[in-house]
Amino acid sequence: MPDEQKEPAAEYYVDQFFVTSSPYTISLTFGIATAHPQPGQAPTMKNLVTLRMSPEHAKVMVMILKRHLKEYESQAGVSIAVPQQIAAQLGIPLEDW
Protein backbone atom coordinates (compact mmCIF):
# COMPACT_ATOMS: atom_id res chain seq x y z
CA MET A 1 0.00 0.00 0.00
CA PRO A 2 1.53 3.36 -0.98
CA ASP A 3 2.30 5.87 1.73
CA GLU A 4 -0.40 8.48 1.86
CA GLN A 5 0.62 11.98 2.81
CA LYS A 6 -1.43 12.93 5.83
CA GLU A 7 -2.22 16.49 6.76
CA PRO A 8 -0.56 17.52 10.01
CA ALA A 9 -2.80 17.63 13.05
CA ALA A 10 -3.98 21.05 14.15
CA GLU A 11 -2.02 22.47 17.09
CA TYR A 12 -3.37 24.83 19.73
CA TYR A 13 -2.06 26.47 22.87
CA VAL A 14 -4.82 26.60 25.49
CA ASP A 15 -5.05 28.10 28.95
CA GLN A 16 -8.77 27.57 29.59
CA PHE A 17 -11.18 24.66 29.35
CA PHE A 18 -14.57 23.53 30.48
CA VAL A 19 -16.20 20.15 30.58
CA THR A 20 -19.77 18.93 30.30
CA SER A 21 -21.08 15.40 30.46
CA SER A 22 -24.06 13.23 29.68
CA PRO A 23 -24.53 9.50 30.19
CA TYR A 24 -22.83 8.76 26.85
CA THR A 25 -20.54 11.71 26.13
CA ILE A 26 -17.93 13.89 27.78
CA SER A 27 -17.34 17.19 25.98
CA LEU A 28 -14.13 19.14 26.58
CA THR A 29 -13.97 22.64 25.13
CA PHE A 30 -10.50 24.17 25.08
CA GLY A 31 -9.84 27.85 24.58
CA ILE A 32 -7.62 30.78 25.32
CA ALA A 33 -8.26 33.79 27.51
CA THR A 34 -8.44 37.18 25.86
CA ALA A 35 -5.07 38.91 25.98
CA HIS A 36 -6.18 42.36 27.06
CA PRO A 37 -9.47 42.40 28.98
CA GLN A 38 -11.07 45.72 29.85
CA PRO A 39 -9.97 47.10 33.23
CA GLY A 40 -12.06 45.62 36.02
CA GLN A 41 -13.41 42.82 33.83
CA ALA A 42 -12.39 39.18 33.86
CA PRO A 43 -10.86 37.84 30.65
CA THR A 44 -13.24 36.01 28.36
CA MET A 45 -12.53 32.67 26.74
CA LYS A 46 -12.21 32.25 23.00
CA ASN A 47 -13.24 28.67 22.21
CA LEU A 48 -10.74 26.94 19.94
CA VAL A 49 -11.79 23.29 19.80
CA THR A 50 -14.27 20.89 21.38
CA LEU A 51 -13.40 17.22 21.86
CA ARG A 52 -16.16 14.68 22.48
CA MET A 53 -15.61 11.17 23.76
CA SER A 54 -17.19 8.41 25.80
CA PRO A 55 -16.92 8.62 29.59
CA GLU A 56 -14.75 5.48 29.48
CA HIS A 57 -12.35 7.07 27.00
CA ALA A 58 -12.17 10.23 29.12
CA LYS A 59 -11.41 8.25 32.27
CA VAL A 60 -8.61 6.28 30.62
CA MET A 61 -7.23 9.49 29.10
CA VAL A 62 -7.12 11.14 32.55
CA MET A 63 -5.39 8.07 34.04
CA ILE A 64 -2.74 8.10 31.30
CA LEU A 65 -2.23 11.86 31.62
CA LYS A 66 -1.82 11.58 35.41
CA ARG A 67 0.73 8.76 34.98
CA HIS A 68 2.59 10.77 32.35
CA LEU A 69 2.77 13.89 34.56
CA LYS A 70 4.00 11.86 37.55
CA GLU A 71 6.71 10.27 35.38
CA TYR A 72 7.70 13.71 34.07
CA GLU A 73 7.98 15.09 37.61
CA SER A 74 10.07 12.10 38.67
CA GLN A 75 12.41 12.19 35.67
CA ALA A 76 12.82 15.98 35.70
CA GLY A 77 13.18 16.14 39.48
CA VAL A 78 10.48 18.79 39.75
CA SER A 79 7.06 19.12 41.29
CA ILE A 80 4.46 20.90 39.19
CA ALA A 81 2.92 23.34 41.64
CA VAL A 82 -0.80 24.07 41.65
CA PRO A 83 -1.51 27.18 43.73
CA GLN A 84 -3.66 26.39 46.77
CA GLN A 85 -6.01 29.27 45.87
CA ILE A 86 -6.70 27.79 42.42
CA ALA A 87 -7.26 24.29 43.84
CA ALA A 88 -9.64 25.71 46.45
CA GLN A 89 -11.61 27.69 43.84
CA LEU A 90 -12.01 24.52 41.79
CA GLY A 91 -12.85 22.37 44.82
CA ILE A 92 -9.91 20.06 44.13
CA PRO A 93 -8.06 18.72 47.17
CA LEU A 94 -4.33 18.72 46.43
CA GLU A 95 -4.13 15.41 48.32
CA ASP A 96 -5.91 13.79 45.34
CA TRP A 97 -2.70 14.16 43.37
* Sequence-ordered list of residues with C-beta below 8 angstroms from that of 30, at least 6 positions apart, any chain: 12, 14, 16, 17, 47, 48, 49, 50, 51
Reported as a single tens digit per residue, the pLDDT across 24-66 is 999 999 999 988 888 988 889 999 999 999 999 999 999 999 9
Is pLDDT of 3 > 80?
no
Per the confidence metrics, is the pTM higher than 0.85? no
CA 15 remoteness from chain centre: 8
